[in-house]
Amino acid sequence: MVKEKLLKCIQQAVSDTQQEGCIPLAILPDINIERPKDLRHGDYATGLPLKLARISGISPLEIAKRIINHLSLPEEIDNAVAAPPGFINFTLSDKWLCQQVSVILNADKSYGDTNLGSNTYIQFEFVSVNPTGPLHIGHGRGAVLGSTLANIFTSAGYKVEREYYLNDTGNQINIFGTSLYARYQQCLGKEADMPINGYFGNYMTALARKIISEHGEKFLQLSQQEAITQLTKIGMEKIVQGIKQDLQLLKVDFDVWYSEKDLYHNGQYQQAMEKLQQRGYITKRENATWFESSVLGEDKDNVLVRSDGSPTYFASDIAYHHSKFLQRKFDRVIDIWGADHQGHVPRMKAVLKALSIDPERLSVILCQLVTLRRGKEVIKVSKRSGDVITLREVIDEVGTDACRFFFLSRSADSQMDFDLELAKKQSVDNPVYYIQYAHARIASILRLANEKHIAYDEGDLSLLSTKPELSLIRCLTFLPETIENVVDTLQPQYLTYYSQELATLFHSFYKQCRVVSQDEALTKARLKLVRASQITLAKTLRLMGMTVPETM
């Protein structure tokens, strides 16, 4: 990429400058190349001279000039100028920019793809909601984030796996089962108490009724334990089915649904515990089994097996990560969790250390919580307490594309209000439609060209010379580094903002530059640019998991 080339070129120039004594020998600070916000400052810039000035005592502008004298610029760069107070600004060559249009046309759907990941095997685990109730809005956030990152990493040359961890055993499942059994009995006119921490949501009663309509009263004949076992299985399957449907509605796919229960049958749990035991990280105390995370610098130890003999969620998760890293051998793992799991991060990292796995190989993205509201009214989304507005209802109300874009344009770090009233009100004037409209507009132009039988393969790109044209091309060339930026930071909002900018530049170009006109040569050149814009815009929309409309 241009940026890398430029970096090397600057390094060379600085080193030459130093050797010739134009800059006193000094420790070279990191060279950072940025994108100036202001177009007048070129396409790339470095403030290196300002840093060197501090060390050398020479004025930064003077240093900038000396470095520029030693620069041998790559073909992509037209010129380098020193700018006060001490920047070097680089401008892309118009000729090179125009050529990029055909680079994009040739790459077509693969434009933007890189080999940055060089096939690194990486797992994204996300959503992973307990199968004890429907998804709500907060889960949607993680789902959209995870699916988009997975798309982007795939494009960047990683070997990606998307996984949903199904917590199909343990405490919460037991409570789910007893809650369902109670509702089942109640629906059949029997007295039954809900467990204290039970799932009181209305959906549980609906679930019980559904089971009655399909299976009748037969579970009343069974022993309580047997009835609960069977109801748990049936109920959970239905819930999972619903979750799968909701995710599909949100355009979120998984490669693997990994069962927590399996960890206890496939040896992962035993192996992980044995390893920790052998390495001396396990101790028995107060009748429970503990992981001694405190010796690894944690605040406290954590329970692995309760005094009643049942393993904790933490213990499962250890086995689970054992499977990820040591059994399935992912090079990197990205877990996306809700912010309410933050306390879990340091102890998970401690476990990795204990298992001699570099903790750097695990990244945990914590999504801050989402508050759902309708105007001033805050809507609770707790599964246990009762009424829920499900993710499905939100999607039905707001739309998949708008939902996805809404989540993607906000940093995972910031808590957000999802105001249904606002989301709906804005849906017509939503940035999503602005971007999609640009694509539909492009499609329409290309349709027109097609109807007029204009073949533009031979269009002469050097005819593209006006500001709107060149600005648009510039933006097109930024896609690969935008993707790289997301890969580096795990923050997809760079892509959403990019797509918006691209749409803006296209609309502006469209207004100022008539594409299909009497000027045959110019028409062909511009059609090429339009097609390249379509390729690029469609790519960003696909990466974000949104529809790519030909018409609206």
Partner RNA sequence: GCGCCUGUGGCUCAGCUGGAUAGAGCGCAGCCCUGCGGAGGCUGAGGUCGCGGGUUCGAAUCCCGCCAGGCGUACCA
Of 13-32, which residues contact RNA (CB under 7 A)?
A: 32
Nearest to RNA of 185, 399 (CB atom): 399
Nearest to RNA of 34, 255 (CB atom): 34
Burial class (CB in 10 A: 0-12, 13-18, 19+), 213: exposed
Which tokens in the block code for residue 28?
A: 């070279």
Which tokens in the block code for residue 444?
A: 């329409």
Nearest to RNA of 151, 312 (CB atom): 312
Stretch that binds RNA, among 42-50, 142-150, 320-328, 387-395 (CB under 7 A): 42-50
Nearest to RNA of 330, 510 (CB atom): 510
Report the distance separating Cα 29 and Cα 51, nearest Å. 7
- Residue from 87, 254, 281, 330 binding RNA (CB under 7 A): 87
488 binds RNA (CB under 7 A): yes
- Residue from 19, 20, 54, 206 binding RNA (CB under 7 A): 54
- Residue from 440, 454, 470, 490 binding RNA (CB under 7 A): 440
Other Cβ atoms within 10 Å of 90 Cβ, number: 27
- Residue from 426, 470, 490, 547 binding RNA (CB under 7 A): 426
Minimum distance from residue 365 beta carbon to RNA (Å): 11
Minimum distance from residue 221 beta carbon to RNA (Å): 30
508 binds RNA (CB under 7 A): yes
Report the distance separating Cα 164 and Cα 159, nearest Å. 17
Binding mask 339-378 for RNA (x = CB under 7 A): xxxxxx---------------------x-xx---------
- Residue from 7, 16, 28, 41 binding RNA (CB under 7 A): 41
Stretch that binds RNA, among 20-28, 35-43, 181-189, 532-540 (CB under 7 A): 35-43
Minimum distance from residue 326 beta carbon to RNA (Å): 22
CB under 8 Å to 43, separation ≥6 — which residues? 35, 36, 90, 91, 92, 474
Packed helices 391-398 and 137-155: angle between N→C axes, nearest 10 degrees: 70
293 binds RNA (CB under 7 A): no
Beta bridge partners of 165: 258
Nearest to RNA of 249, 440 (CB atom): 440
202 binds RNA (CB under 7 A): no
Minimum distance from residue 405 beta carbon to RNA (Å): 10
CB under 8 Å to 275, separation ≥6 — which residues? 322, 354, 355
257 binds RNA (CB under 7 A): no
Nearest to RNA of 27, 428 (CB atom): 428
- Residue from 15, 248, 294, 415 binding RNA (CB under 7 A): 415
φ, ψ of residue 453 in degrees (nearest 5): 55, 45
Nearest to RNA of 37, 329 (CB atom): 37
Other Cβ atoms within 10 Å of 152 Cβ, number: 25
Q: In what order do the strands lie in the sheet with 332-338?
A: 256-259, 159-166, 121-125, 332-338, 362-367
Q: Are 182 and 192 in contact (CB under 8 A)?
A: yes
Report the distance separating Cα 253 and Cα 143, nearest Å. 9
Other Cβ atoms within 10 Å of 401 Cβ, number: 21
Q: Which H or E run contains 202?
A: helix 202-215
Minimum distance from residue 189 beta carbon to RNA (Å): 31
222 binds RNA (CB under 7 A): no
Report the distance separating Cα 166 and Cα 114, nearest Å. 33
196 binds RNA (CB under 7 A): no
- Residue from 7, 33, 212, 303 binding RNA (CB under 7 A): 303
Stretch that binds RNA, among 180-188, 244-252, 324-332, 410-418 (CB under 7 A): 410-418
472 binds RNA (CB under 7 A): no
Minimum distance from residue 493 beta carbon to RNA (Å): 5
45 binds RNA (CB under 7 A): yes
Minimum distance from residue 222 beta carbon to RNA (Å): 25
Which tokens in the block code for residue 90?
A: 């680089």
Nearest to RNA of 176, 219 (CB atom): 176
Instruction: Write down the H helix ranges in 112-198.
Output: 137-155, 171-187
Strands 377-379 and 370-374: antiparallel
Report the distance separating Cα 489 and Cα 192, nearest Å. 52
- Residue from 477, 500, 533, 534 binding RNA (CB under 7 A): 500
441 binds RNA (CB under 7 A): yes
Q: What angle do CA 331, 333, 336 make, to 5 degrees?
A: 170
Which SS3 state, helix, strand or coil, does residue 256 take?
A: strand
Q: Which H or E run contains 468?
A: helix 467-477
Nearest to RNA of 191, 429 (CB atom): 429
Report the distance separating Cα 351 and Cα 293, nearest Å. 8
Which tokens in the block code for residue 233?
A: 């299985």
Minimum distance from residue 420 beta carbon to RNA (Å): 12
Q: Are 304 and 311 in contact (CB under 8 A)?
A: yes
224 binds RNA (CB under 7 A): no
328 binds RNA (CB under 7 A): no
Number of residues that bind RNA (CB under 7 A): 91
Q: Are 450 and 75 in contact (CB under 8 A)?
A: no
Q: What angle do CA 477, 490, 248 make, to 5 degrees?
A: 95
491 binds RNA (CB under 7 A): yes
551 binds RNA (CB under 7 A): yes
Minimum distance from residue 149 beta carbon to RNA (Å): 14
312 binds RNA (CB under 7 A): yes
φ, ψ of residue 95 in degrees (nearest 5): -60, -45
Binding mask 112-141 for RNA (x = CB under 7 A): ------------------x-----------
